[in-house]
Structure 1
Amino acid sequence: MHPPVPATRLATFYLAYYAALGAFTPYWSLFLKARGQDIAAISVLMSLWYATRVVAPSSWSWLASKSKSPVRWLRIGCVITLASFAVFVVPLEFGGLFLAMCVFCFAYNAVMPQFEAITLSHLPGRSELYGRIRVWGSIGFIVTASGLGILFDHLSILLLPLLMLPIYVALVASSFANDYLQVAAVDVAAPIGFRKRLLRPDVLAFFVVALLAQVSFGPYYTFFSLYLEQHGYRPSALGAYWAIGVSVEIAMFFASARVFARWDATRVLVVALASAALRWWATALYPDNVPLMAVAQVTHALNFAAFFAACMQLLVRYFPGRLNGHAQGLYYGFSSGVGGVIGALLAGWLWKFDGGRLSFLVAGGVAAVAAVIAFVMLRSPRPTIDLMSDSTQA
């Protein structure tokens, strides 16, 4: 008989973590602008969010794997996240912001992969419960993104750090309320056969596609709110657009099993990338068209959620069994890390030429190139793996 799952305690961590992200992602660039930073500085500061993803998750997980009490590292990471974020309450110039962002982004990016391991330690043989727990993170994102947008119609964006601090206090509290059910031994060595699989042309093409997809999201994650603000949108509208994207993302993740029962992951990947190209071009050319911008946000279900789910399918296909954990780390660091840095810096460099329009046009071109590479190079047979069970075990 399985022990009871502490679903409420686990859900509170996801709720706090992604509620903070729902405040950070839409509004942090606006906050940095209000602090006197120009577009070039903002692109550098925001790129730190992605740069730390290259090393933070793997290094923190390694430290936890070597500890007799691995949950201690989760709690240390959350405390560092809170302490480093509190620094933003103080007016800082670029140098101070850069140092604070380095520490904050490293700690914040480090803790979630470890908490995922904690959640999964409670769910052996019951992976179907994962979605019901994880969905509270998406709910937290939607509530803060839309709620803060309404507040910032009336309050200064400079209050953002003060408004976010209680969320990080809740994150720390939740980290002390949770622990592993059982601690599995972690094999930190690279699995045998990994390099041989990695060097296959279709696998290399897959990682290039994943990198380019993240590069194409650079203007969106870094400057989307600033771009809409330039075109007269109020903060409440910005929050609504971000909330639309996460809402359809939730719907797609719950429908993913049916999607992949009908269509192969490679086909879904190509369609997702093509939809991303159209989305960025529509954003570049018609930012004042409210209905079209809303439709563009709805395509987040394809170009983010379906893309991510397809990537998880393909990673299981290319790297089965215990090879998959190593592949997940490489995918996360190379795509979200390296690709995110390139996307953020490229978007900032292009911004000075056309106020954002060119950044989104180029992003559409990058997504289109990725779609072509995926269509030509990723020709694998239909997998016979259940998406939800494998994605939760990775």
Structure 2
Amino acid sequence: MLRLSSFYFAYYAALGAFTPYWSLYLKGTGQDVAAISVLMSLWYATRVVAPSTWSTLAARSANPVHWLRIGCVLTLLSFSAFTLELDFAWLFVVMCVFCFMYNAVMPQFESITLSHLVGRAERYGRIRVWGSIGFVAVVALFGVSLDHLPVTALPWLMLPLFAGMLASAMMNDYGRTPAAQAEADTVNFLSRLRRPEVIAFFIVALLMQLSFGPYYTFYSIYLDEHGYSSSALGMFWSIGVIVEIAVFTFSTWIFRRWSASTVLLISLVAASLRWAVIALWPDSVALMTIAQTLHALSFAGFFAASMQFLVKFFPGRQNGHAQGIFYGFSSGIGGVLGALLSGLVWKVSGGDTAFLLASATSAVAAVVAWVWIRPRRQEAPA
């Protein structure tokens, strides 16, 4: 399990540097706001096609882990180009390649992890939690480091993280597939994809990611508009990640007591409540703190339950392809639409309306889940 955990740690540690600080790096290279918005949008745009494309190539390969390793090599090589002086045109090209490769590898590695957890999928969270730990550690460490170093040094600081990700990929491989699961792999992938509960699951995943649009795009701006200090912004963001770590840590206990369907439905209701609280009571520190603790359910609970469903719906090597569709459909299409639509609503009616619509979107997702994939009395915990 240490080898599996090491990949999550390295991958999300690099993401912990990229997400909060990369726009500052681009600004440090002389890019204006318009250029930065275009370059950063490539992160979500490549998520639409990269996961499914790479997972499809891996699924058709006699040795699929080679594609994981190739992806990690290309991620490291493309990112190393940022150590050079690049104008906007070259930054655009390098960002396209880097974001494509970086977004491509995680869905395949999720499949590798789940292949080692056949019959024990509830233990997934105890491995995935190391990704959250890596994210938090790097956010804090790099924040202090960049107080003393120029922001243009960020690529040099991040290169060891991608090197660590590559090293971990070299040490990992797919687990053995039991005979029963190997037989299940012969079932046509598209026939599984057309099942009503599977379609409903992917729709729910897209709607959930769509509801996160105002949060990922404008949450800090929203808090700033309501008079919160920079330290308060950091506190609220940290609360979300800390409770996320708690859920992943205790996920084995959670899924031994409740089914994935139950956890999924609760997470959707929690998300709807969370966005409504943020929209209606932004000036209440107590209520905003409670809203952030709901990240434990609305993100971590939903994500952990989704992995359970992907194991159930797509066993064996089909899981890698399914992971690609899941990431591309939810984080890709859902992420792009969430950012664009929340921005449009924000301009017209303000942040409170954007979060209220996010709450409504989560509620619709909860209805879909209740009708098509709700818990049944005879359903055992995942």
TM-score bracket relative to the smaller structure: 0.7 to 0.9
Distance 1:143 1:295 in 2: 23
Q: Kindly indicate whether residue 325 of structure 2 is the aligned counterpart of residue 333 of structure 1.
A: no
The 3 A distance-change label for structure 1 pair 181 and 150 is same
Equivalent position of 1:59 in the other structure: 53
Match of 1:204 among 184, 192, 199: 199
* Counterpart code for 1:107: M
Please list the CA deviations of residues 289-318 of structure 1 after superposition, one character each: whole Å capped at 9, or x if unmatched. Answer: 44433322211111112222333444555x
Q: 1:165 to 1:304 in 2, by over 3 A?
A: same
Distance 1:132 1:365 in 2: 32
Instruction: Go from structure 1 to structure 2 and tell me whether the alpha carbon gap of 1:373 and 1:132 turns closer, same or farther (over 3 Å shift).
Output: closer
For 1:232 and 1:158, locate their aligned partners in 2 and report how far apart those are by CA, in whole Å: 30
Contact 1:56 1:109 in 2 (8 A): yes
**Deviations 1:160-211, CA, capped at 9 Å, x for gaps:** 44433332233334444x1437787999x99646555544544433322221
1:140 corresponds to:
134
Contact 1:43–1:344 at 8 Å: present in 2 too? no
1:180 alignment counterpart? 173
- State the Cα deviation string for residues 312-353 of structure 1 (Å, max 9, x = none): 444555x36459625444333322222122112223333434
**1:243 and 2:238 equivalent?**
yes
- Does structure 1 retain, via aligned residues, the 8 Å contact 2:59–2:318? no
> How far does residue 18 in structure 1 lie from its aligned partner after superposition?
1.0
Quick one: which of 305, 309, 315 aligns to 2:304?
309
**Do the aligned partners of residues 206 and 113 (structure 1) sit closer, same or farther apart at CA in structure 2, a change above 3 Å counting?**
closer
Which residue of structure 2 aligns with residue 20 of structure 1?
14
CA distances 1:28-71 after superposition (whole Å, capped 9, x unpaired): 45555676554x76665444333333332343344445667655
My pick for the range that moved more, 100-109 or 132-141, is 132-141
Q: Secondary structure at the match of 1:55?
A: helix
Supply the AA of the counterpart residue of 2:98.
F
Distance 1:82 1:104 in 2: 8
* Aligned length in residues: 377
- Structure 1 residues 64 and 308: alpha-carbon distance in aligned structure 2, compared to 1, 3 A threshold: closer
Q: 1:148 to 1:385 in 2, by over 3 A?
A: farther
Amino acid across the alignment from 2:79: F
TM-score (norm 2): 0.78
Structure-2 separation of matches of 1:282 and 1:266? 25
How far the C-alpha of 1:16 sits from its partner, in A, is 1.4
Amino acid at match of 2:266: V
The gaps in structure 2 that reach 5 residues or longer are none
Given candidates 247, 252, 272, the residue that maps to 2:267 is 272
Deviation at 1:287, TM superposition (A): 4.2
Q: CA offsets, 1:54-96, max 9 Å, x none?
A: 3323433444456676554333322322333344456766654
Q: Distance in 1 between matches of 2:290 and 2:79?
A: 34
Q: Quick one: structure 1 residues 200 and 182, their matched pair in 2 at CA, closer, same or farther if it must change by over 3 Å?
A: closer
* 1:369 corresponding residue in structure 2: 364
Specify which of 103, 112, 115 is matched with residue 109 of structure 1.
Answer: 103
- Sequence identity (%): 59
Who is 2:216 aligned against? 221
Distance 1:129 1:107, change over 3 A: same
Match of 2:337 in 1: 342
Structure 1 residues 285 and 128, CA, compared in 2 at 3 Å: closer, same or farther?
closer
What amino acid is the match of 2:370?
F
- Return the TM-score normalized by structure 1: 0.76
Q: 2 CA distance for matches of 1:66 and 1:292?
A: 49
CA contact (8 A) 2:259 2:380 kept: no
Q: In the alignment, which residue of structure 1 is the partner of 2:287?
A: 292
Separation in 1, partners of 2:25, 2:48: 25
- Mapped to 1, the partners of 2:327 and 2:7 lie a distance apart of 21
Residues 257 and 386 in structure 1, CA contact (< 8 A), matched pair in contact too? no
Which stretch shifts more, 202-211 or 224-233? 224-233
- Letter of the aligned partner of 1:25 in structure 2? T
The aligned counterpart of 2:163 is: 169
Question: Deviation digits for residues 121-172 of structure 1, max 9, x if unmatched?
Answer: 6677887876554432221111122333455667765654443333223333
| Contact preservation (8 Å) 2:267, 2:299 | yes
Deviates more, 1:364-373 or 1:82-91: 82-91
Q: Which amino acid aligns with 1:19?
A: A
CA distance in 1, matches of 2:172, 2:263: 37
Q: For 2:37 and 2:343, locate their aligned partners in 1 and report how far apart those are by CA, in whole Å.
A: 5
For residue 392 of structure 1, what is the aligned residue in structure 2? none
Can you give the 5+ residue segments of structure 1 that lack an aligned partner in the other structure? 1-6, 388-394
CA contact (8 A) 1:284 1:360 kept: yes
Distance 1:339 1:50 in 2: 9
